[in-house]
Amino acid sequence: MKNQHTNQPMHFVQIAITVCILLFAILDSPAAPVYLRSNVGAPWGLLGNETAMDAVFGTGNWLDQRFEIANPATVFSASNSFVFLEGGDSSADELETYLNTNSSLISTWVTAGGKLLINAAPNEGNGMSLGFDVILNYASGSGSNTGSSSSNPSHPIFLGPETPVGSNFTGSSFSHAYITGTGLTTILLDSSNRIILGEKSIGLGNVVFGGLTLPFFQTHPSWTPQPNVANLHQNIISYAASVPEPATGLLLMTGMGVTALLRRRRSF
């Protein structure tokens, strides 16, 4: 009996180690970031988002997909932890159709822990529901919104990983739409104090919503100053893909619980 009692703490240590290894495996499981847009074409014929995805994740380390071709069940699967949906310029209607068709699948995926970035600076349509009680507001032919400022300079997108960034920006076409909805955390405001970048936690996941254009157009920069705005663009993607999950807290609580259990056993 004495030997069995003496070995109990070691038994629970082994259990604790096994649990922690399993949780770390879940948290660190391989995931393929996905960039998804319409095959109508890249917004304004530019590959700014693709360039930013390469910079953030590395060339060849993310999936370049299309609304019309990719299998939604594959895109929004457990193997993918981050999806970037782009519907700017002449692909806003296509984004709206995609969201309406796959709203239930997307909602379930985010709630389970998925990280989603939805951005659209339309040149068509009349705005849309982005899901999660959030609306993208755009009036056909309304033109561009100039200027932008941070509502929270301490937000991670202004701190890195790319620097310098700053918190005040200008541009002749910084955004084409603004965001409204319940439970939003404001990140960027336009010159009329409307949300053009915000976020919302949904279950175990998070969604970043934007109405932004791209930092560069062919004939002029749409965002200034440089290089701050290029860094901002990359940081938005980097942040949207890496918002801490509640599972991190679960790991901590599990470790604390096992420690308490071991202490209790030793006191017997």
Write down the pLDDT at residue 239.
98
Provide the H-helix boundaries in the chain: 2-27, 48-57, 72-75, 92-101, 103-111, 228-241, 246-266
Sign of CA dihedral 253, 254, 255, 259: positive
Distance CA 215, CA 21 (A): 42
pTM of the model: 0.81
pLDDT tens across 45-91, in order? Answer: 999 999 999 999 999 999 999 999 999 999 999 989 999 999 999 99
The 10s digit of each residue's pLDDT in 87-136 is 999 999 999 999 999 999 999 999 999 999 999 999 999 999 999 999 99
Query: How far is Cα 176 from Cα 138, in angstroms, rounded to an integer?
Result: 7
How far from chain centre, in Å, is Cα 253? 25
Structure tokens belonging to residue 40? 């109508």
* Mean predicted confidence (pLDDT) in 35-54: 96
- pLDDT at residue 234 greater than cutoff 70: yes
Exposed e or buried b for every residue in 191-201, given b needs 16+ CB within 10 A?
A: eeebbbbbbbe
Question: Comparing 40 with 268, which gets the higher pLDDT?
Answer: 40
Residues of the chain above pLDDT 70, percent: 76
- Model confidence band, residue 243 (pLDDT cutoffs 50, 70, 90): confident
For residue 174, give the nearest of 126, 215, 119 by alpha carbon. Answer: 215
CA of residue 5 relative to chain centroid, distance:
50
The whole-number pLDDT of residue 22 equals 41
As given in the structure block, the two tokens for residue 216 are 């560069």
- Measure CA 164 to chain center: 21
- Highest mean pLDDT among 1-10, 24-33, 167-176 belongs to 167-176
Contact 177, 211 (CB under 8 A): yes
For position 198, what pLDDT does the model report?
97
Query: If pLDDT is split at 50, 70 and 90, which confidence band does 268 have?
Result: very low
**What is the CB neighbour count within 10 angstroms for residue 207?**
25
Whether residue 6 contacts residue 56, with contact meaning beta carbons closer than 8 Å, is answered with: no
Q: Is the per-residue pLDDT at 19 higher than 50?
A: no
168: amino acid identity, one letter: N
pLDDT value, residue 127: 96
Residue 199 sits at φ, ψ, to 5 deg, of -145, 165
